[in-house]
Every structure is written in structure tokens, then in C-alpha cells.
Chains A and B, each alone.
Chain A
Amino acid sequence: MDDGLPTARLVRRLLLVVAAMFAFGFALVPLYEVMCQAFGINGKTAGAYTGEQQMDAARTVRVQFLASNAAGMNWEFRPLQDELVVHPGASHQMLFVAHNPSDRPMTGQAVPSVAPARAAAWFHKTECFCFTQQVLQPGERIEMPVRFIVDRDLPADVRHLTLGYTLFDITGRQGPQAQAVR
């Protein structure tokens, strides 16, 4: 019968497995992030881009802009233009309008996503209002810029991109947020 480990040792090992699996649950969070980035799975774009590129004047790509509010958000939020036709490699800017119609100061956070999702890896933002939170006083209205470059290596079959933002009301949320937002 005593062909295994003594019970106390066995239990200690099993508890180690338990601890490791608890840690694994949390490790799934960065792992998920990495997988999504690596495979451009869910349209997540990377953080601020610092590279420079040569313009490819021979090719054009349509970039469409979308703005929508998450549940519970009451700001007016829209791009100044619905779309731009751009050359890969060139830097472009689009302005988004945000207006707080309420009678209290509010904080908003925009979360970007790119469709088709597999193109997200080739869509670079050099500057974006989504990198920070926006605090708007009652009735205040601002224009917020996003500067971007469509990568020259964007797969040839992608001729049309959509950059969408969802605006969340994060007034009153405490603690660390937004740093993680890309």
C-alpha cells in the first residue's frame, strides 16, 4: 500500500499544483492579450506608434470612422468626417467631436477597434484621444484628434478599413484604469 509518496508530501505537491493553477488563471490575462496582438484577433490596436514610413503614392486605402456610445453614456460623440482616402505610409489626422450635454462634469474613455480584425496590426496610431481620459465640464464641447499611419505592408487585399471607437462613461470609477488602454 505504501507504494506512493508519504501522504504529507503528496498533499504538499498537490497544493503546489493548486497554487500553480490559480496563478495560471491570472496568467491567462496577459496570455490572452499577447495572443490577440500576435494574431490580430479581436481588432485591438497597439499603443502609440513612433516609427516613420515612406508614403506609397501608388496605393489608396479607404479608412472609415465610427463613433458609438457604450450603454449609459450620453455624450454627443462623432467624427468630423465619415471617411478619408489615404495612402499607406502617410500620416493623417481626423477630429472627433465630443459634447457633454449633462449638468455635471463627466469623464469619458474611448476604446478603439479596427475592422477587419486581421488588419489591426497594420493600423498605427501616433496620437490618439483614446490614450487618455477626457474630462468634460457641463455643456463643454471639444474636438479630439487621432493621428494615424496605415502601414505600407498592409495586405494587398485590404482596401477598406474601419476605425471604430466606443465611448465609456467612467465618471466616478476609482483606481487604475486607462493606462492599459491602447
Chain B
Amino acid sequence: MSSEKARLATMWFYGCSGCHMSFLDLDERLVDLAKVATLVHSPIVDIKHFPPDVALTLIEGAVANVEQVETLREVRKRTKLLVSLGDCAVTGNVTALRNAWEHGDRAVLERAYADPSNLNAQIPNLVPKLLDYARPLHEIVKIDHYIPGCPPNADQIYYVVGELLAGRQPVMEGRSKYG
């Protein structure tokens, strides 16, 4: 039975997890969703590698470092439908605030790690290199659907996921909402 269920995945890049909170806000509708889909990868399940043959993947967050670019390209190959979930994924949003500064990549690292008020202030060299600009997902790979919102509400997510799993095209006029 479970093998007939659609393989669903969620991911996050540079976001605040708010979009995932909204996803969890589906509440009892998660039970309905579980009847038709099985969650094969997500920050809320403990599976390290992104699996193959995924039907639908929702991604929260903007792409902001080199590692995420690679991961996103890999996810694109392994999933049939890719959805940008929330404003950070759709526009860059708060993650992209740094884009307006020259050398914003450097500025955020300095602010986070090298602030003089920190003890032993230094920028770690283990973190993947930041891109000069934080990017919305569709600037890196082809995206099939967008759910704007900061965060999008549970009704919007349920509607889009439901339509896509049923093989229909969601209509966003009057339903999408930036901010």
C-alpha cells in the first residue's frame, strides 16, 4: 500500500524554519496528507541523503552558499516537481537583505563571527563559502511552482500540495501573498 503513495520531500536552505512551521500547521490535515503521500526526506526526519525518484519537493529558504547550489541541482535531478516554499525561496526575502550591500557576504560573516564583542572573534573556515548574493531558487534551477508568503499559511500549502499531488495545476491568482 505505502509503495503507491507519492514520495514527498521538504528541505531548507537559508530560511528561518517558519515555512516548515506553517507546513506543520496543517495540523490534522497532515493525517490526510499521510494517506496519499509518504515523507521521504525532510529536516524533521532523520535521513541524511536526498533520495531518488521523489514526486514533489518543497524547499524553504534562499540559496546563499556554494554547497547549497550543488545540493539544489542534485535535488532537481531527483524530484519530478519542485516548489519554492515561502518568500526566501521565492524572492530571497530577509536572507537577501545583505544583497543590497557591497560585499554583503563578508559583512554578514563579520557581523556573525567577528563582532568585536565576541571572545576569540574569528570567521571559521569550515563553513561553505557564501555566494556574493543570496538567490531565489529559480535563479539556479527550474522551479515548477511558487508559494510566496513569509510564511505562507497552511491553507495555501495544503491547497498547492493537494492540487499537485492530484495532478492538477494550482491557480495562484488572489491566493498568493508576499510578506
Q: Are A and B co-members of a single complex? A: no
Q: Which residues of A contact B (CB under 8 A)?
A: none
Q: Which residues of B contact A (CB under 8 A)?
A: none
